[in-house]
Amino acid sequence: MNHTHKEVLASEVTHSNLSHYEQAVERFSWKEIESHFTWYDTGKVNMAYEAIDRHVAEGLGDKTALLYSDSSREEAVTFAQMKEQSDKFGNVLRKYGIGKGDRVFIFMPRSPELYVSLLGTLKVGAVVGPLFEAFMETAVKDRLEDSGAVALITTPALLPRVKREELPLLKHLILVGEDIPEGEGLLNYQKEMEQASTDLQIEWLDREDGMIMHYTSGSTGKPKGVYHVQNAMIQHYYTGKVVLDLREDDVYWCTADPGWVTGTSYGIFAPWLNGVTNVIRGGRFSPQDWYNTLAKNKVTVWYSAPTAFRMLMGAGSDMISEYDLSHLRHVLSVGEPLNPEVVRWGHKAYGQRIHDTWWMTETGGQLICNYPGMAIKPGSMGRPIPGVKAAILDDQGREVPPNTMGNLAIQTPWPSMMRQIWNNPAKYEEYFRIPGWYISGDSAYMDEEGYFWFQGRIDDVINSSGERIGPFEVESKLVEHPAVAEAGVIGKPDVTRGEIIKAFISLREGYEPSQELKDDIYRFVKEGLSAHAAPREIEFKDKLPKTRSGKIMRRVLKAWELDLPTGDLSTIED
């Protein structure tokens, strides 16, 4: 394979830039970054202190930390208020004996209370686990059960999705909102907060103590609890500076929900470690709403995702002139391949180059990026940030020549690297099977100038609208439906969403294919697991291709779908 990439965006792109980059890499030292933190001297650390309290101590208490809005609520919270509220919440948890190392999960829509409770949880040294609000019963139960969570912060509306009788370790449910039901283990957030003291002794931790868990999907098995430690803050702080380009007076908006890693690493930690005003917009996507959010808050730095940019592109450039986006200085993207066409459109429509960034739940922070001052080649994820070495390896772990496709790998360690897959050391080891490297599961190639180009996943993981979906989780749900005998799930290419979920299903005796049945199966997954995991397309088959050991061959399903050769079928059943 030989690729030549002549196209570059903006005129500043030249060798001087590249040498600038080499110099930054040369000069770089993580140690120097660490010296920014309070714990550099004390040796003891707490993310919530560095993100919030520290700014208050340094005289920025009156600065706006959070600019929250949704369709029914608007609130500005200062760093001092955020400190006070999270101190109180820390005391609420302490009152119930919750502390260092305990897992405390949060399952609710975005709201100021979500951010307060997340920070308060960190303050007492507990490990926080944010769950996306669209998760249904099975998804919630799997995660709470695996993590052994002792407390959950949620809302009365979401409470029915929490199967408490099946979760003996889950002792406390802290309910946010109105009309709080009463009962054993049910606590009223507001009442508890009213009674709580603002005087909290923060739990000082070691850098390798736990901080946050995000569940994410692989191609087999249940979702994995990706466990991150306090040390990750080095990467959050640093990339906030050099990749997000955050400066003191910035108003920053990351559109991701904290249920996903982007919504915490870059929706909470990076902006607040850098002391900037953080915009949070609740509710659903609409082009008008988003442009209005940018204009009304005078957003300067905006971090979003390809699916959103594609939808905005679909909504057309005309409407943009109705909003004052003149404050925008820097735009970034993450989560899925960013089409060159979208980068070019963004340049015209916003006068902004959209900066693609690559990283994963497991990496905890950005690793390969287009950052300010760097030449952008539309379609490329950029270059490794200073302090990080990336390479393309063959299956034996040898680096391959430029422009050759292979495994995208990162040299270990880096500060925000995951430290565990919860309860599953064997899974963790798989990522590090080549000594000295983390194997991402993505395939890519590197060009002669050290730019990385995404090619696809090596496993069967599906990426729909930037959300990572494990086919196994969906298949497991599908076979619970009374009509489904077997199911195989693949990602089908889609212009807007990147991929959509397509399920191939064989039916049990006595069931006939019909549109009603498809609708019913779709609803079953949507209501049992989550909307984003439900198959938008279903195809009934008499039989599914399986290996002799009974494993459904997703690659054959994919080949059927894309009209490609099915490849080696030597292991197929018959």
Closest CB 374 distance from ligand PRX, rounded Å: 15
Distance (Å, whole) CA 358 – CA 457: 13
CB of 139 to ligand PRX, least distance (A): 15
Alpha-helical regions (H) of 324-415: 340-350
**Position closest to ligand PRX via CB:** 361
Structure tokens, 236: 């959050």
Prior bond of 223 cis (ω within 30°): no
Closer to ligand PRX by Cβ: residue 131 or 196 = 131
Is 293 in contact with 279 (CB distance < 8 Å)?
Answer: yes
| Inter-CA distances, 71 with 283, 289, 404, Å | 7, 10, 49
Question: Considering the complex, what minimum distance in angstroms separates the CB of residue 78 from ligand PRX?
Answer: 29
| Nearer Cβ to ligand PRX (457/518) | 457
b/e map of 253-287 (b: 16 or more CB within 10 Å)?
bbbbbbbbbbbbbbbbbbbbbbbbbbbbbbeeeeb
Per CB under 6 A, residues contacting ligand PRX are: 216, 261-262, 334-337, 356-361, 381, 440-442, 454, 457, 463, 468
Three state DSSP letters for 9-55? ECCCCCHHHHHHHHHHHHHCCHHHHHCCCCHHHHCCECHHHHHHHHH
Q: Cα dihedral sign for 201, 206, 209, 214?
A: positive
User: Could you give the count of Cα atoms lying within 13 Å of 438 in the half-sphere of its Cβ?
Assistant: 22
Q: What is the CA radius of gyration of the chain?
A: 24
Nearer to ligand PRX, 45 or 354 (CB): 354
Which of 266/350 has CB closer to ligand PRX? Answer: 266
CA atoms lying within 13 Å on the CB side of residue 241: 10
- Tell me the closest approach of the beta carbon of residue 356 to ligand PRX, in angstroms: 5
| Three-state DSSP class for residue 140 | helix
Rounded to the nearest whole angstrom, what is the least distance from the CB of residue 456 to ligand PRX in the complex?
8
Residue 314 CB, shortest distance to ligand PRX, in Å, is 20
- Compare residues 441 and 513 and give the one whose CB is closer to ligand PRX: 441
Q: Considering beta carbons, is residue 196 or 410 the nearer one to ligand PRX?
A: 410
- Report the residue number, 353 or 468, with the smaller CB distance to ligand PRX: 468
For residue 311, the minimal CB distance to ligand PRX (Å) is 17
How crowded is the C-beta side of 400, counted as CA atoms within 13 Å? 21
Task: Report the nearest approach of ligand PRX to the CB of residue 389 (Å).
Answer: 18
Q: Indicate the Cα dihedral angle 262, 264, 265, 271, nearest 10°.
A: 110
Taking the least distance from each CB to ligand PRX, the nearer of 278 and 440 is: 440
